């Protein structure tokens, strides 16, 4: 039950003693060159294997497995649905003729032409969790949000994706596609599963295809029965445009998990690393099709599990070691995240809070040219899709 209660925070806290926590923290917080337990560099990701189109019955699917054994499968199904148009919106065309000022009613109509966020439904299943537990709900909302809100500003020949995913789901004024993204974590989460799920979802969406529309305009939709003719939901660069690098394609966003420990920023944290993090941040980025740079779509802080850890007891306060505390007390410094005096080597649960400059650094590391974000996206682009 304890694990369940903590589920809303970044992960189940591993059972690590305060001394270990303190050790980990000190290693990771080493200024300039943190030492990670698995020897990775701060921006290095764990190796992973990925494949797409593994579920023939879906419109698109992917499987990603981390080397630590966690695996996720994502299946995307699409369904045609009638767009509910409000009465106001129906009247609008007539109103527009005699009443140009009637702009307030535009909302209902907007839904039918620019799409609606609720057309993408995401459900996440994690072993050991009910589907209404906080973790799956929170995770799915965290991934859905950047997905539907990512809107490129048109241009660069990718008109189809001009309105983002939700615009892409519009068939015509009366019909739209509804996407069901089913995310399945196959193993117990070894670490906070967000990056894994996000990468898998990204790949699954890349491989997602919708039947080719044969009808035109405002007709009831009618589709080509040849699956081979189905079109990718995120359109591919045409062969003829091969001089354009594949990165010019519009791609779904990815959400990265970044932690800060002391002054250091660490990517793709393992469970132990999260346990001592000062801050945990989910950063969603996507490529901006206009400028070929990355842009930040959303950023959320995640309640760091370090808050819930047991504090260590300083020797000075320890009844058993009362005699030898003098040296330790001298070394005490004020820790910014715990807000109290800290004795080196003694673990204090973090209380949250992060410096502005740290966040800025995190974002910069993600977005900068040649940064982590680009590296991840390039890695994903390397996965053969379809």
Partner 1 sequence: MKSLRRDFSSDPQTANVTSKIFVRSTKSGKVQKIVRELYLRQDIPCSSKLCSVCPTVAPADANGKIAPFVLSEHPAGTTAFPRGHYLVPDTNALLNGMDLFEHTGAFYDVIILQTVLEELKNQSLPLYNRLLALIKTDEKRFYLFFNEFRMETHVRRGPEESINDRNDRAVRAVAKWYTQHLQASSKKGKKEKALPTIVVITDDKDSLRKAKEEDVTALSLSDYVAGLEDSDRLLDMINESREARGAKGARGELFYPEYFTMSKIMTGLRAGTLHQGVFNVSPYNYLEGLVNVAAFDKPLLILGRDNSNRAISGDVVVIEVLPKEQWKSPSTKIVDEEAVTKNDNPDAEDSEAVVTERERKALQEEVRQAHGKSTEGRPQPTAKVVGMIKRNWRQYVGHVDSGSTGSQASAGRRQQTVFVLPMDKRVPKIRVRTRQAAELLGQRILVTIDAWDRDSRYPTGHFIRSLGELETKGAETEALLLEYDVQYKPFPKAVLDCLPSEGHDWRVPATKEDVGWRGRRDLRDLLICSIDPPGCQDIDDALHARPLPNGNFEVGVHIADVSHFVKPNNAMDLEASVRGTTVYLVDKRIDMLPHLLGTDLCSLKPYVERYAFSVLWEMTPNAEVVSTDFTKSVIRSREAFSYEQAQKRIDDSSKKDELTESMRTLLKFSKILRQKRMDAGALNLASPEVRIETDNDEVGDPLTDVKTKAMLATNSLVEEFMLHANITVAAKIYDTFSQTAMLRRHATPPPQNFEELSNQLAKKRDMRIDVSSSRALADSLDQCVDDKNPFFNTLVRILATRCMTSAEYFCAGAHAESEFRHYGLASPIYTHFTSPIRRYADLLVHRQLASAIGYEGEDGRASVEGVMTRNRLEDICRNINNRHRNAQHAGRASIEYYVGQALKARGEKLSANGVDGGIEEDGYVMRVFENGVVVFVPRFGIEGVVRLEDFVLQGDSSLRSVAERRELVVRRESDFDNEEYTLKVSDKGQPDRGMGVELFQRVKVNVSSVKEESGRGAGKRRVRVLILGAQK
Out of 7, 21, 24, 50, name the contact with partner 1 by CB under 8 A: 50
Beta bridge partners of 113: none
Burial level of 68, CB count in 10 A (0-12/13-18/19+)? Answer: middle
Calpha distance 9→192 (Å, rounded): 9
Q: Is 221 in the site for partner 1 (CB under 8 A)?
A: yes
Residue 47 near partner 1 by CB under 8 A: yes
Q: How far is the CB of 216 from partner 1 (least distance, A)?
A: 7
Distance in Å, CB of 126 to partner 1, minimum: 23
CB of 139 to partner 1, least distance (A): 22
Q: Report which of 352, 285, 281, 349 is spatially closest to residue 311, judged by C-alpha positions.
A: 349
Q: Does 380 bind partner 1 (CB under 8 A)?
A: yes
Q: From the centroid of its chain, how far is CA 211?
A: 27
Contact predicate 143/192, CB 8 Å: no
The answer to whether residue 51 forms part of the interface with partner 1 (CB under 8 A) is yes
Q: Does 376 bind partner 1 (CB under 8 A)?
A: yes
Residue among 11, 59, 112, 255 that touches partner 1 (CB under 8 A): 59
Selected range binding partner 1 among 101-109, 184-192, 225-233, 292-300, rule: CB under 8 A: 225-233
CB of 103 to partner 1, least distance (A): 29
Interatomic CA distance for residues 75 and 69, integer angstroms: 20
Conformational region of residue 307, where left means phi above 0, alpha means psi within -120 to 50, and beta covers everything else: alpha
> Site for partner 1 (CB under 8 A): which residue of 13, 58, 140, 338?
58
* Rounded least distance, CB 381 to partner 1, Å: 10
Cα 386 from Cα 157, distance rounded (Å): 22
Tell whether residue 42 is a contact of partner 1 (CB under 8 A): no
Contact call for residue 323 and partner 1 (CB under 8 A): no
| Residue 258 interacts with partner 1 (CB under 8 A): yes or no | no
Are 256 and 267 contacting, i.e. CB atoms less than 8 angstroms apart?
yes
Q: Which of 121, 223, 232, 345 is the binder for partner 1 (CB under 8 A)? A: 223
Q: d(Cα 80, Cα 177) in Å, to the nearest integer?
A: 5
Cβ atoms of residues 219 and 172 within 8 Å = yes
Residue 18 and residue 26 in contact, taking contact as beta carbons nearer than 8 Å: no
Under rule CB under 8 A, residue 232 binds partner 1: no
Among 38, 107, 141, 220, binds partner 1 (CB under 8 A): 220
CA distances from 109 to 82, 147, 215 (A): 14, 22, 22
**Smaller CB separation from partner 1, 7 or 48:** 48
Residues that bind partner 1 (CB under 8 A): 45, 47-51, 56-59, 78-80, 82, 211, 214-216, 218-228, 230, 375-376, 379-380, 382-384
């Amino acid at each position: 039950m304890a694990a369940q209660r903590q589920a809303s925070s970044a992960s189940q806290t591993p059972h690590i003693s305060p001394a270990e926590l303190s050790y980990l923290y000190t290693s990771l917080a080493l200024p300039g060159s943190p030492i990670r337990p698995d020897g990775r560099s701060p921006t290095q990701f764990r190796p992973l294997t990925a494949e797409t189109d593994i579920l023939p019955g879906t419109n698109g699917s992917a499987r990603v497995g981390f080397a630590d054994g966690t695996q996720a499968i994502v299946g995307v199904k699409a369904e045609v649905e009638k767009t509910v148009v409000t009465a106001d919106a129906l009247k609008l065309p007539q109103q527009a003729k005699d009443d140009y000022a009637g702009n307030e009613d535009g909302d209902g109509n907007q839904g039918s032409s620019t799409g609606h966020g609720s057309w993408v439904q995401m459900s996440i299943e994690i072993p050991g969790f009910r589907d209404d537990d906080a973790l799956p709900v929170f995770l799915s909302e965290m991934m859905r949000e950047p997905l539907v809100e990512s809107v490129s500003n048109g241009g660069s020949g990718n008109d189809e994706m001009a309105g983002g995913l939700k615009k892409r789901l519009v068939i015509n004024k009366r019909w739209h596609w509804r996407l069901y993204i089913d995310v399945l974590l196959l193993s117990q989460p070894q670490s906070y599963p967000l990056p894994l799920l996000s990468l898998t979802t990204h790949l699954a969406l890349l491989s997602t295809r919708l039947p080719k529309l044969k009808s035109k305009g405002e007709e009831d939709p009618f589709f080509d029965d040849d699956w081979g003719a189905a079109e990718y939901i995120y359109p591919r660069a045409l062969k003829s445009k091969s001089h354009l690098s594949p990165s010019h394609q519009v791609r779904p966003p990815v959400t990265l998990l970044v932690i800060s420990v002391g002054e250091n920023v660490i990517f793709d944290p393992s469970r132990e690393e999260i346990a001592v993090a000062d801050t945990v941040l989910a950063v969603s980025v996507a490529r901006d099709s206009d400028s070929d740079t990355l842009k930040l779509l959303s950023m959320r802080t995640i309640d760091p599990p370090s808050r819930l850890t047991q504090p260590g007891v300083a020797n000075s306060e320890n009844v058993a070691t009362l005699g030898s505390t003098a040296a330790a007390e001298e070394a005490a410094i004020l820790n910014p995240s715990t807000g109290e005096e800290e004795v080196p080597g003694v673990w204090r649960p973090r209380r949250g809070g992060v410096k502005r400059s740290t966040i800025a650094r995190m974002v910069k590391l993600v977005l900068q040219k040649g940064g982590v974000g680009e590296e991840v996206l390039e890695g994903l682009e390397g996965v053969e899709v379809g």
